Structure 1
C-alpha cells in the first residue's frame, strides 16, 4: 500500500491514517469500488501491516523503536516517554506520543500541560488501549436517529469484542463487587459489564490489538485504487470556487511540494491538527477549534482481598496491563466513566515477601465529562509554528467550578469503589494532569445548523465549503466521559456513506450514458 509517486488527481484525498480516516477508506472501498483514494500521513510507517498496533510487535526492542519513531518531528519535539512521569510532577508523554513544545497553558488558565499527539501510520490507534464503550445518556448525540446503527458499524470496522479477557483470573469477582456498589437504579446498558475492546484472541491464545490496519481491512489493502503515502505533510487544502478541490502535500523525505486535486477532501488528522490544517488553508468558521474538551482523569488502585492463590494451570498466559477490563458506564447521575483494569503487578512497590498474584491488583480510572464552553479552544496565529512549520496549536482551557466539583466527586467515588473491591493501594487517589486522557474532542464539532456553534453538518461536511469533510474525535459535539473512538468512527461512517453514495450514483449514471 505504501506508494511514493504522488498522483495528480484522485476522487478522494484523506489526510490522516488513524481509525477515522481509515474508516473513510474502508467504506469507500466497500461501497464505491473503483473510487481512487490517496491517504496522506505525516509520520512514518512503524508496523507491518501498516497501521497495526505496536503491542502486536513481539520483539520489545522493535516495539520501542516503533514508539520512538511515532514521537513527532524530531529534536524540537519533547520526547519524554515515561508513563509515570506525570505523577512525579514532570511533563511526560506516553510512549509513542509527543507533547506540545509551548502554548499548552496560559496565565490564569488550567491549560492542557500533557496534551499529546502521535505521528505515524495508524495515528494514536497504534498505541491506544482499545477501549470502545458506547456513549450513554447526555453523551449521546441526540439529533442522530441512526446513531446505534452507526455504532454497530463502527464495532465491525474496529473488531470490537467483549470476551478477549474472559480467562483473566478474578474478573467476574471484580464485576460482582462493583455491581453491588453501583448497579442499583441503573438500566441494563449502564450496569457494570465487560469493557468492549478492539482486540481479539487468536486460537493460540495470543492477543491481537486492533489498529488502523483492522479498520482498513483486506478490502482496502487489496484495492488497487487506494494508495497510502507516509511522511507526507498536508500543508493546505485547496479551495476553489468555494469548494474543496484537493491538497498541497509536502514530501518530508525530499521537501518537494505537490498539488493533488480531488473531488472530495477528508481531513482526519486529530482534534488539534485537523483545525490546524483548516486554519492554515483559510477555512476558519467561527467554531473552529472551540468547544475543546478533555476528560479529567482520577486514578487509584486496590488489592483484591480474600483471593485464593492461582492454580498452577491457571490460564494466565497473555495477562497484560489491561487484563480483565471492566466498565462502569457514564450516567447523568454519575457523570464519569469507569475503566477498571486488572494488573499483573502493583503500581506501588510492595514488600518483597508479599508477592502479587496476577490479576489481584486492580487499577481504577474515572474519566469526567467536561462543561462545554466556546472559550475552551485551540487557537492559531502567524507568529508561532510547530516542528513541521505549521501554525502551532495554542490551547486556552479552564475547568469550571462545576468541573472541579465533578473531579472531587470522582475522587470520593473512586475511593469508595477501591474499598468495595478490596484494600486500596496507596494513601489517596491521584488526579492526572489535564490532557492525560488523550481524548480531546469538540474542535471541529458537528451540528444541525450553521449557527456559529459547529464546524460541520451531520455528515461531517464543513459548513460553507462543500466537498470538505472532517473526521476524528473533534467532530463529537457532546460532552463525553467514555473513550470516544467508537463514536468518532461511527460519525466517519456516516460521512463516508454520503461520499460513497454520490460517487456510486455518478459512476452508474456514466455507465448508463455510455451504454
Structure 2
C-alpha cells in the first residue's frame, strides 16, 4: 500500500484494551499524537445495547453481551474470537471453533475484540509476589532443566511498586494495604489504595473460620517452607468502586461483574479510552491490522482492512505511518499479526521474530473447580449477593514446593453453583436446580433421596414445597476455584493456520497446547486442598458426584492420587500470557523490559504476552503497570529524538 496514502502520527497503536488504552491516554497527556486501530466496534454511547444482548442471551457466558454473534461461523467473521460455546465438545473442530486447535489438550480461554478489549474481566487486581519475578533464582538454581526464567533485573517487586501504584490509581482499586502485605509484597511507605476494600461475603467468613486451625499432618501436602497450622482468607484487591470514584458509582452488588457491570462500578478500559479520545487520540474501529511493514530494520507502517458488518465483506484498506508503533492486540492476536507480516519475503518468519520466540510459551492459569453443599444444620451463606468474588487464599502461592510442582491461588465464589452446572440446554444455576425440582430431574446432582428428604429418588415439587426446597438448598450451595500456575513451554504456541481463514481472508490462529506434569501436580495439590476445605466445612462434595460429571469436559485427564486413578478437569481462566516474552537476551526473548522489540527499536509489543512467567495472580494489574512504564519510555524516546 502506498505510503503517501497513509495517515501519519507520532505513535500508532493496534488494540484498544487495557494496555493500548492506558498507553494512548498517557501519551496524549504529553501532547503526543496517537492513532488507535481497533479490530471490533468502537465505544458505544452507552452500554444499553450490550445489556439488552446480555439479558436476552440464553447462554450467559462471559462473551455474551459483546459482538460478534456467539453462534457465528468462524470462517465468515471479519474479527473473529473464541467463545465459551466453542470450547465444548467441538473445541478441535475448526468449522465450529475460531481457534484452530491442534491439541493434544484444549486451550479453553476466550477473549473479545471490541473497543476496550477484555471488558468482561472480573476486576481482580493482584500484585505479583516477589518470587514470581525471580522463579529461576528463587526455586530453580539447583535444577538443570527448570523451565522458569527470571524476569529482567529491572523488573522486580520493588521496581514495579511505583507502576503498580499508578495502575491502581487509574483502574480504581479497592483494597487494604496491610491485608495485602503477604509473601513479601512491597508497598512504599504510607501507601494507601484508592478506596477501602470490598467487604467479604458470608461464605468468605465461613471459609476463614474453617481454615483458622489446622494440623501439620493435614497441610503437609502443601510443601510450604514452614508448617501450616492455619490458612488466612484475604479480601481480593478489585478494580471496583467500594465508594464513588472518578464520577462512577459504588458497587451495588449486581452479581454479574462477568460479563458486564450495569452501572460501571467495575473499571473497564473504555473509561480510559474515552479519556484518550477526549484528549485527541484518533480511534479507527472496524479496522483489522493485516501487516506490519518493516523498512531497513524499522517499522514504517501498519496496513489494515476495514469492514462494516460482522460477517464482512471487506469495505476498504488503509495504513498508518508513525514514529513509534505499539501492538496491544492480546497474547494470541499480537503474535498472529507479527507472523502474518512477511514483507514480501523480507521477514519470512514474521516481524520481531529473529529469535523464533514469537507465539511460543503460551500460558494460562488452568482453572480447577470444586463445588459443594453446606450441611443443613449450617447457617445459610446466601450466594448471589454482591460481587462474584470478594476474597481468596493467596498465602499458599509461594514456597519450596515450586521447585517440583505448580503453585495455586484460591478464589472463593459468591455465585453458588451458577456456572459449574452450566453447559446444559437450560443454562446455569439457580435455573438448573430449579428445573430439577420442578420436573423431577437431576442434572445438578442434588435432586436425590438423600437431599430431597421427601422419600423420592427424584422429587417433582410445586408451590410452597418448591419454594422451601429452593430456599433450603441454594442458600447453602457454594463453589471454589483454583488458578494454577503454568510453566512456559516453547511447544505451547500460537502459529498461523495454513488451511483456515476468517471472513477477511486472513489466516486464523492455530494453537498447540498441553499441560506439563509440573502443572498437573499443581492441580493434584488443588484437589487435596479442596477435600481439606470441604471436610473442615462439613460440606457434601458435588465436584465429582455424578458419574458423568467430567465425561463431557474436553479438559479432563486422569492422575493417580493415593494409589487410585482420579479424573480431574481444568478450564480456562482467560489469562492468556507469554507469547512474546521479555528478556535481556535477544536470542531467547522478543522484547526488553520496556516491552520494546529487540529487532526493531521503534516497535513495542505490550500486554501479558510479554510475561516470562505467569505466576498465579490475574495478569491485568501487572500488564497495566507495565503499560504505564512503557508509555513513559515511549515519551522519553520521542523527546530525545526531538
Instruction: Report the TM-score when normalising by structure 2.
Output: 0.66
Matches within 5 A, 1:135-174: 135-140=128-133, 141=151, 143=153, 144-145=155-156, 146-162=159-175, 163=196, 165-166=198-199, 168-174=201-207
Query: How far did 1:417 drift?
Result: 2.2
What CA distance in whole angstroms lies between the structure 2 residues aligned with 1:377 and 1:238?
A: 23
Residue of structure 2 in register with 1:9 after alignment: 8
Residue of structure 1 in register with 2:266 after alignment: 209
What CA distance in whole angstroms lies between the structure 1 residues aligned with 2:105 and 2:164?
A: 33
Residue of structure 1 in register with 2:410 after alignment: 338
Change (3 A) 1:366 1:388: farther
Query: How far did 1:171 drift?
Result: 3.2
Query: How far did 1:488 drift?
Result: 1.4
Specify the SS of the correspondent of 1:278: helix
Matches within 5 A, 1:76-225: 76=74, 89=89, 91=91, 100-101=97-98, 103-106=100-103, 109-112=104-107, 114-124=108-118, 126-140=119-133, 141=151, 143=153, 144-145=155-156, 146-162=159-175, 163=196, 165-166=198-199, 168-180=201-213, 185=226, 191-201=232-242, 202=244, 206=252, 208-216=265-273, 218=275, 220-224=276-280
Change (3 A) 1:492 1:119: same
Residue of structure 1 in register with 2:534 after alignment: 418
- Segments of 5+ residues of structure 2 without an aligned counterpart are 134-150, 176-195, 254-264, 309-313, 342-349, 422-432, 434-445, 447-451, 453-465, 556-569
Specify the SS of the correspondent of 1:11: strand
What CA distance in whole angstroms lies between the structure 2 residues aligned with 1:35 and 1:79?
A: 32
Change (3 A) 1:412 1:170: closer
Does the CA contact (< 8 Å) of 1:49 and 1:213 recur in 2? no
Matches within 5 A, 1:17-56: 17-30=16-29, 32=30, 34-45=31-42, 47-48=44-45
What CA distance in whole angstroms lies between the structure 1 residues aligned with 2:500 and 2:67?
A: 24
Matches within 5 A, 1:432-443: 433=555, 436-443=572-579
1:406 aligned onto 2:500: no
What CA distance in whole angstroms lies between the structure 2 residues aligned with 1:47 and 1:206?
A: 23
Change (3 A) 1:358 1:110: closer
RMSD, aligned CA:
3.7
- Equivalent residue pairs, number: 478
Query: How far did 1:170 drift?
Result: 4.4
Moved more, 422-431 or 459-468: 422-431
Change (3 A) 1:168 1:462: same
Specify the SS of the correspondent of 2:364: coil
Residue of structure 1 in register with 2:619 after alignment: 484
Query: How far did 1:230 drift?
Result: 1.3
User: C-alpha offsets along residues 381-400 of structure 1, whole Å, 9 cap, x if unaligned?
Assistant: 55443344223211122222
Specify the SS of the correspondent of 1:355: helix
Specify the SS of the correspondent of 1:256: strand
Moved more, 240-249 or 373-382: 373-382
- Segments of 5+ residues of structure 1 without an aligned counterpart are 1-5, 93-97, 508-515
What CA distance in whole angstroms lies between the structure 1 residues aligned with 2:7 and 2:273?
A: 23
Change (3 A) 1:378 1:428: same
Query: How far did 1:117 drift?
Result: 2.7
Does the CA contact (< 8 Å) of 1:321 and 1:341 recur in 2? no
Query: How far did 1:257 drift?
Result: 0.9
What CA distance in whole angstroms lies between the structure 1 residues aligned with 2:49 and 2:207?
A: 28
What CA distance in whole angstroms lies between the structure 1 residues aligned with 2:295 and 2:616?
A: 39
Change (3 A) 1:425 1:229: farther
What CA distance in whole angstroms lies between the structure 1 residues aligned with 2:573 and 2:417?
A: 22
Query: How far did 1:380 drift?
Result: 2.1
Residue of structure 2 in register with 1:244 after alignment: 299
Specify the SS of the correspondent of 1:151: helix
Specify the SS of the correspondent of 1:380: strand
Instruction: Report the TM-score when normalising by structure 1.
Output: 0.81
Q: Which entry has the higher C-alpha Rg, 1 or 2?
A: 2
Query: How far did 1:178 drift?
Result: 4.0
Residue of structure 2 in register with 1:376 after alignment: 492
Change (3 A) 1:243 1:277: same
What CA distance in whole angstroms lies between the structure 2 residues aligned with 1:420 and 1:90?
A: 38
Change (3 A) 1:170 1:297: closer
Does the CA contact (< 8 Å) of 1:271 and 1:474 recur in 2? yes
Specify the SS of the correspondent of 1:22: helix
Does the CA contact (< 8 Å) of 1:138 and 1:478 recur in 2? no
Matches within 5 A, 1:295-310: 295-304=365-374, 307-308=378-379
Moved more, 156-165 or 485-494: 156-165
Specify the SS of the correspondent of 2:163: helix
Does the CA contact (< 8 Å) of 1:53 and 1:209 recur in 2? no
Does the CA contact (< 8 Å) of 1:248 and 1:258 recur in 2? yes
Query: How far did 1:425 drift?
Result: 4.2
